[in-house]
Amino acid sequence: MNDVYCLAIESSCDETSVAIIKNGVFEVADIILSQIDIHSLYGGVVPEIASRKHIENITIVIDEALKKANMTMDDIDYIAVTYGPGLIGSLLIGVLAAKTLAFVYNKPIVPVHHIIGHIYANNLVKRLEFPLIALVVSGGHTELIYMDKDYSFKKIGGTLDDAVGEAYDKVGRVLNLPYPAGPEVDRLAHIGNDTYNLPIPLDDKTYNFSFSGLKSAVINLKHNEEQRGNTININDLATSFQNRVVDILVKKTIRALKEYKVNNLIIAGGVAANNGLRERLTEESKKLGFSLVLPLKKNCTDNAAMIGSASYYAYKLGKTSNLNFSAKANDELC
């Protein structure tokens, strides 16, 4: 069979990224232009600035990816693009660029759901094995997804309020840590001790997740201690917070593996870069004997390589689109 080359575009938030992926598994080129330095000045992503930066950068990043791959558009078989969910202004730029390339060069186009992309970041490490459970932990999602084959998704639990990455970022903000706070809270959590008595997030029989109570407990604790003139040990607070988060993520994930009789676990999304979570799941996989794939850290946060990988299986299933599809700010995976 001939090799299939995809040019993939991801612009759902504040990264302008273009990748060229061969046969769904091999990264020929992956360029990620992050805008974090600009947005961290404001303590979070400013949608208007994000979309303007995507406009400035998108053609440069497309050119750079082709140059790095030593390819031209003639070598590309099809275009893939994130259509949603995400910031609508940001998504529109990637979708417009992808449609333009598809139209001008007469190539098929595959619109990809952002979370499916995060899941397939694992496929760039090791070909997915089914059935599997995917623990999706990002800035906007905390979900458990069951897959029995490529491109087949059944949600078994999801976010009830703050997603896990959002809780990390909000906790980081009150602790005066730079945006996005996840990596810094993770680093501090490895220095401190679990000394603060924080509530366990939604420990029930469902596979849903709720982190807003834990987040509020951290914020209230900080304010109350400050009002009493006491200083907070930020490292200890980070450890206590991270332990409660990791405890519940791991507990519900392992219960799902057992109930669904699944031996393959993958994790996906920005919080999949969390060392606390990676370490605990690695320990559990050794103890319980399930197979665990961890995405490369560079492919945990938003990137086009994961979109290119996912799109290959959609392409093989004939899920190409005409140019009438739209960017969608909100779109449930399943």
Interaction residues for ligand KG4, span 5-24 (CB under 6 A) = 13
Interaction residues for ligand KG4, span 297-316 (CB under 6 A) = 301-302
Residue of minimal CB distance from Zn ion?
Answer: 302
Per-residue contact string for residues 138-177; x = within reach of ligand KG4 by CB under 6 A: xxx------------------------x--xx--------
**Which of 85, 201 has the CB closer to Zn ion?**
85
The phi and psi torsions of 278 (rounded to 5 degrees) equal -60, -45
**Which of 116, 238 has the CB closer to Zn ion?**
116
The phi and psi torsions of 155 (rounded to 5 degrees) equal -80, 125
**Which of 78, 170 has the CB closer to ligand KG4?**
170
State the minimum distance, in angstroms, from the CB of residue 297 to ligand KG4.
Answer: 8
Residue ranges binding Zn ion (CB under 5 A): 138, 302
Q: Evaluate whether 84 touches 114 at the Cβ level (below 8 Å).
A: yes
State the minimum distance, in angstroms, from the CB of residue 12 to ligand KG4.
Answer: 7
Examine residue 89 and tell whether it contacts ligand KG4 (CB under 6 A). no
Examine residue 201 and tell whether it contacts ligand KG4 (CB under 6 A). no
Per-residue contact string for residues 271-290; x = within reach of ligand KG4 by CB under 6 A: x-xx----------------
- C-alpha to C-alpha distance for 231 and 253, rounded to whole angstroms: 36
Examine residue 117 and tell whether it contacts ligand KG4 (CB under 6 A). no
Q: Which does 14 bind (CB under 5 to 8 A by kind): Zn ion, ligand KG4, none?
A: none
**Which of 66, 272 has the CB closer to Zn ion?**
272
**Which of 30, 302 has the CB closer to Zn ion?**
302
**Which of 27, 302 has the CB closer to ligand KG4?**
302
182-189 and 164-174 helices, crossing angle to 10°: 80
State the minimum distance, in angstroms, from the CB of residue 12 to Zn ion.
Answer: 7
Among 45, 119, 181, 257, binds ligand KG4 (CB under 6 A): 181
**Which of 136, 221 has the CB closer to Zn ion?**
136
Q: Which residues bind ligand KG4 (CB under 6 A)?
A: 13, 138-140, 165, 168-169, 180-183, 186, 269-271, 273-274, 301-302
